Amino acid sequence: MHVLVLGGDGRAHALAWALDNSASVDEVVSAPGNPGIAALGKRCIPVDANDPAAVARLAGEIAPDVVVVSAEEPLVHGAADALRTHGMLVFGPGADGARLEGSKAWMKAVLAEAAVPTARHASFTADQEDEALAFLDRLPGLYVVKTDGLAAGKGVIVTDSIDDARDAVRAYLSGQAFGDAGRTCVIEEGLTGPELSLLVVCNGSTDGWPLAPAQDFKRIGDGDTGPNTGGMGAYSPAPVMTPQMSERALDEIVRPTIAAMKRLGAPFRGVLYAGLMITADGPKLIEYNVRFGDPETQVLMLRLMSDLVPALVAARDGMLKSFDLRWYADAALTVVMAAKGYPGTYLKGTRIDGLAEAATLEGVEIFHAGTAADGDRVVATGGRVLNVSALGASVGAAQARAYAAIDRIRWPEGFCRRDIGWQAVAREKALTGG
């Protein structure tokens, strides 16, 4: 089987790595790919993944058996639709299904139709600033302001300051912060509790098959401080997500959404990522993503014992109910190394050394998320640049390996959180008396 991975971020690298380990895959091609994927010996072809016509032309030239789309923007722009129009087999939703991530206001409307538990919320357009500020005043004290459109994971403000929330609303609706993506914004009452990620493989007509739960870290700083980001690290398994809680999340949140999407004429095919908050009242949905999570994919691919390809084919062919996935008992943890200044303005083109040395450590895999090749050098080109990942017998062991690898990477212009997985590590120490 020949597989095209559409994307060039850390998810694409992790997927290409997992597919490379599949007994049923003869060739993996990535577009546009990145230096890490190329180092696997995989062909990387420059293409604008957000241009559906260009993507369809490329797929027509290389004739893959299946195309896996790793990121949200190509899906929202209709890459899966263009590929299916040309007879390609695609793992990922069409633009109608991708609206769940492409428009948070529309997503909230779907949740209401499906009676899915979520935060108290309202949506406002650029000419409704006064109404938006009045809604803020009626909330009890933790405020969440989100762009309606895509903002690379950075269009979310969570604050207990009413003044900061008001400033965010004004900046979003005026277009000063995120342009058109924020001219419609969603304001929510803040929820509290452990935040978890549940990814579910869907074929549009069945309940879907959940992947192993993971926990990610959105805040930029240690101790979950500072602004939200696209994700600064993750680990799996997540002990808070018990089998009972997982089944409740599926029954109360995911399955009603799948059914609602089908009723709306937009059956969801691909990976539905449910960002959950486990509140005192049970699981509530924060938001949906319509693709593999980042950086959750990196830890899930490390833990996946089963061959990934049959799972993709089962979703495509409607055979999920007769399918099963197995996971390694080991824990996996990934730490995102980002360019200084992220999630604001950051430098590009800075040199990264020591990657080969770091990758020699036992259990460590380094996935490239925002890099480019400059001759024989690797340079940073994005905000989130590397995903330093590791397996271990416990979360603490995986954490120690990941940070040992980071300490061998020489990149003065980069930084990372130093506490990814701290809750799970503290829980492990409490249980063992360590």
Handedness of CA 176, 182, 185, 189 (dihedral sign): negative
Instruction: Report the candidate in 382, 385, 267, 402 with the shortest Cα–Cα distance to residue 331.
Output: 402
Mean pLDDT rounded to a whole number for the chain: 92
pLDDT at 138: 93
pLDDT at 249: 95
pLDDT at 430: 87
pTM value is: 0.93
Q: What is the pLDDT of residues 176-216, one digit of tens each?
A: 888 888 899 999 999 999 889 999 998 877 667 889 999 99
In angstroms, the CA 112 to CA 260 distance is: 10
pLDDT at 322: 62
pLDDT at 323: 67
Sorted by where each starts, the structural domains of the chain and their CATH numbers stand as 2-94 (3.40.50.20), 120-189 (3.30.1490.20), 195-322 (3.30.470.20), 331-432 (3.90.600.10)
pLDDT at 308: 86
DSSP assignment string, 350-407: -EEB-HHHHHTSTTEEEEESSEEEETTEEEE-SSEEEEEEEEESSHHHHHHHHHHHHT
For 144, other C-beta atoms within 10 Å of its C-beta total: 22
Residue 4, strand partner residues: 29, 67
- For residue 115, give the 3-state DSSP assignment: coil
- For residue 312, give the 3-state DSSP assignment: helix
pLDDT at 366: 98
Q: What is the pLDDT of residues 1-32, one digit of tens each?
A: 899 999 999 999 999 999 999 888 999 999 99
pLDDT at 356: 95
Q: In whole angstroms, how large is the CA radius of gyration of the chain?
A: 21
Residues of the chain with confidence (pLDDT) below 70? 206-207, 315-323, 434
pLDDT at 233: 97
In angstroms, the CA 3 to CA 29 distance is: 6
